[in-house]
Amino acid sequence: MLGGTGKTGRRVVRRLRDRQLPVRVGSRSGTPPFDWEDRSTWAPALRGAGSVYLSYHPDLAAPRAVETVGALAELAVASAVPRLVLLSGRGEPEAEEAEQAVRASGAELTIVRSAWFAQNFSEDFLLDGVLGGVVALPAGDTPEPFVDADDIADVAVAALTDDRHIGRRYELTGPRLLTFAEAVEEIARATARDIRFLPVSIEEYAAAAEQHGVPAAAVDLITYLFREVLDGRNAHLGDGVRRALGREPRDFARYARDAAASGVFDPDRRAAA
Ligand SMILES: NC(=O)c1ccc[n+]([C@@H]2O[C@H](COP(=O)([O-])OP(=O)(O)OC[C@H]3O[C@@H](n4cnc5c(N)ncnc54)[C@H](OP(=O)(O)O)[C@@H]3O)[C@@H](O)[C@H]2O)c1
């Protein structure tokens, strides 16, 4: 379970454990530890596994990601762990290269190619803006079909536990296109707080992120995604949740309500932590 403590990975782990299935978390904090930057940790993490959920960190569009996930897939196949479920990104050329590199390993592969995660607002780099009441992004008005990480986890678990998903590629999106401004409106409604979306230029966004101490590599990655990938190419719905699970994906409004009910958007709770 690579990335097993991340946004999608921890949900996959919870579901597998609920089914009493044995799970090994493959991350730097796992036992044994797994580090993408230290290949000597890979074989011990793979040993004895039946299948691998492959979620790369930080992003498949990061430098060296394609080569790294390709090498991991080759080692998995050579270690008699050919069953891989790869978390990929929609409309990212590098993610498609990574898919090809993993496929070239000869793995029994399921590709989970996902839209933007709704949970970026509650568990990642957009949370600070939500808590502060202003989400400033160079997102313009390009709509995105945000997908719920719970749906990604449901599809990943189906793929990890059922061989019928071998050879499939699922395009996972939510059921609705929303601009970032509309997504922020949904969160404001769910929290009954005044939270607004502020459109900014790429340069303004990068300067503000650097000022807040965001590492240069992370700023590069995020600005790349907004500049190159969020250009309308992904502004259509995918049918992956329905194809894989036979049900409709969760709507963003439901995500926003559940996240608000968990208290994650409550600035007082953050201040007390
Ligand atoms: N966010 C989106 O909207 C989106 C959309 C489509 C696709 N994706 C893809 O989703 C993937 C990320 O998945 P996610 O959001 O579920 O994960 P995530 O929340 O970014 O989680 C990070 C995970 O990676 C582990 N990790 C961090 N550095 C590591 C290292 N050097 N070696 C090993 N593990 C490391 C962390 O655990 P430790 O700290 O314990 O190491 C944690 O388990 C990326 O490949 C991205 O391309 C993201």
Q: What is the mean pLDDT of each run of 10 residues along the chain (273 residues)?
A: 90 97 95 96 96 96 95 97 96 96 97 98 95 94 97 98 97 98 98 96 93 90 90 96 98 98 90 67
Nearest CA to ligand 1 atom 17: 6
Q: Is the CB–ligand 1 distance for residue 34 below 6 Å?
A: yes
3 state SS of 93? helix
3 state SS of 109? strand
Nearest CA to ligand 1 atom 4: 116
Among 27, 34, 69, the mutation site with the greatest number of ligand 1 atoms within 8 A of its Cβ is 27
Cα(55) to centroid of ligand 1, in Å? 6
> pLDDT tens for residues 201-240?
999 999 999 998 889 999 999 999 998 889 999 999 999 9
Q: What is the reported pLDDT for 268? A: 86
CA dist 138 and 207 (Å) reads 12
98, 56 contact by CB (below 8 A): yes
Q: What is the reported pLDDT for 158? A: 98
Among 41, 54, 57, 152, the mutation site with the greatest number of ligand 1 atoms within 8 A of its Cβ is 57
Cα(6) to centroid of ligand 1, in Å? 5
What is the separation of C-alpha 250 from the centre of its chain, rounded to a whole number of angstroms? 16
Point out the ligand 1 atom lying closest to the alpha carbon of residue 59: 47
CA dist 50 and 163 (Å) reads 12
The tokens describing 215, both together, are 């590492």
Among 55, 113, 152, the mutation site with the greatest number of ligand 1 atoms within 8 A of its Cβ is 55
**Prediction pTM value:** 0.97
Q: What is the reported pLDDT for 273? A: 65
Q: Where is 249: in which H helix or E strand? A: none
